[in-house]
């Protein structure tokens, strides 16, 4: 159905026979693999999306990492530690998937640290109390799953396969977050207030995770034609609201939206849009924690230089020893 729409980046004319054949493969539901021919725009879009996704997983360790030393029990600490480690693993699968498109991890990191590549807006918000660990797991991982489950069917093989494993782990993350919220919501009055406060602060930033409204989305149309994206930003946001509101009700918490209302006609909740000005400000680097997050990543990258140098030197030594033995 999209055959006429798709053009390579920078090519305003008709599709070439190669592009037509490529689109026919996508339309037939075939998977594209690293060695297959692909339009340059398809490759670039994937590098952008997978790279940003990888960076999000890595930067996303920081807000929760902040609470590992202050978890209220040994069990909670072990669970949080495992979750944060899982996020590192997700970042690594995704960097590997991006590398199959001909970009190195060093280059992706360079682009993150220079501000050329983005990471999810949500990780520029602070985690102020233990209840935020509940809200991040429940809402942020919940939104991540809503977005990532369809990506298991994305057209690029290495990305789709990485998503299968990531989604399994994300569901555990979401459950552990909801479990924290449940304990807090059923706890003392002070704990219940903390849970409500965390929901108040994370609700709208979680809605922003799905990206700008469909009208403002730059890439959706082409990305959907290429099946890099399966749903629009607004479709996924609505699904998230529909799924999450009853969960908040079950917790006895109130979603901070006066306009939130079940709509019998549409079969969905009506809800208020987030403050899109705030979203674009955060994307421009002006969120509460942008500077801190990038600084932490820069420091980690520089501190790890000796490990990378050591690995390369060791590899070279082994190679030389092999050459000498031959």
What DSSP string runs through 128-197?
-STHHHHHIIIIIHHHHHHHHHHHTT-SBHHHHHHHHHHHHHHHHHHHHHHHHHHHHHTS-HHHHHHHHH
Of 54 and 184, nearer to ligand FAQ (C-beta) is 54
Gap between the terminal Cα atoms of the chain? 58
The residues, any chain, with a CB within 8 Å of residue 258's CB and separated by 6 or more, are 272
Q: Does 118 bind ligand FAQ (CB under 6 A)?
A: yes
Q: Does 140 bind ligand FAQ (CB under 6 A)?
A: yes
Q: State which of positions 55-84 bind ligand FAQ (CB under 6 A).
A: 56-57, 60
Of 78 and 313, nearer to ligand FAQ (C-beta) is 78
Of 44 and 193, nearer to ligand FAQ (C-beta) is 44
Residue with the shortest CB distance to ligand FAQ = 60
Of 139 and 253, nearer to ligand FAQ (C-beta) is 139
Residue from 68, 92, 230, 283 in contact with ligand FAQ (CB under 6 A): 283
Rg (C-alpha) for the chain, rounded Å, is 22
Site string for ligand FAQ, 183-222 (x = CB under 6 A): -------------------------xxxxx----xxxx--
What's the rounded Cα separation, in Å, for the pair 249 and 293? 33
CA distances from 258 to 246, 254, 267, 272 (A): 16, 10, 19, 8
Neighbours of 65 (CB within 10 A): 16
Shortest Å, Cβ 94 to ligand FAQ: 9
Shortest Å, Cβ 290 to ligand FAQ: 11
Tell me the CB-side half-sphere exposure of residue 230, using CA atoms within 13 A: 14
Contact 241, 271 (CB under 8 A): yes
Q: State which of positions 83-102 bind ligand FAQ (CB under 6 A).
A: 87
Neighbours of 118 (CB within 10 A): 17
Site string for ligand FAQ, 226-265 (x = CB under 6 A): ---x---x--------------------------------
Q: Which residues bind ligand FAQ (CB under 6 A)?
A: 48-49, 52-53, 56-57, 60, 87, 118, 120-121, 136, 140-141, 144, 147, 208-212, 217-220, 223, 229, 233, 283
């Amino acid at each position: 159905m999209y055959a006429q729409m798709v053009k390579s980046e920078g090519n305003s004319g008709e599709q070439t026979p190669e592009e037509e054949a490529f689109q026919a493969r996508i339309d037939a539901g075939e998977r594209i693999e690293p060695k297959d021919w692909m339009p340059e725009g398809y490759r670039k879009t994937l590098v952008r999306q997978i790279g940003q996704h990888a960076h999000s997983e890595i930067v996303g360790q920081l807000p929760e990492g902040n609470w590992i030393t202050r978890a209220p029990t040994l069990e909670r600490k072990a669970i949080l530690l495992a979750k944060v480690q899982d996020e590192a693993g997700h970042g690594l699968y995704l960097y590997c998937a991006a590398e199959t498109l001909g970009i190195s991890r060093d280059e992706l990191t360079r682009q993150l640290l220079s501000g050329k590549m983005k990471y999810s807006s949500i990780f520029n918000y602070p985690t102020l109390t233990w209840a935020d660990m509940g809200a991040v797991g429940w809402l942020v991982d919940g939104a991540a799953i809503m977005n990532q489950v369809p990506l298991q069917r994305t057209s690029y093989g290495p990305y789709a396969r990485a998503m299968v494993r990531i989604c399994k782990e994300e569901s555990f993350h979401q459950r552990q977050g909801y479990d924290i919220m449940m304990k807090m919501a059923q706890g003392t009055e002070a704990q219940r207030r903390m849970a409500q406060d965390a929901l108040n602060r994370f609700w709208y930033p979680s809605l922003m995770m799905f990206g700008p409204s469909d009208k403002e989305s730059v890439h959706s149309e082409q990305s959907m034609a290429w099946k890099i994206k399966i749903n629009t930003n607004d479709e996924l946001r609505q699904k998230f609201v529909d799924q999450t509101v009853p969960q908040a009700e079950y917790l006895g918490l109130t979603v901070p939206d006066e306009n939130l209302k079940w709509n019998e006609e549409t079969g969905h909740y009506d809800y208020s849009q987030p403050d899109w000005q705030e979203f674009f400000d955060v994307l421009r680097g002006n969120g509460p924690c942008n500077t801190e997050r990038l600084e932490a990543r820069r420091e980690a990258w520089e501190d790890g230089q000796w490990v990378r140098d050591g690995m390369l030197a060791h590899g070279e030594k082994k190679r030389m020893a092999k050459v000498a033995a031959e």
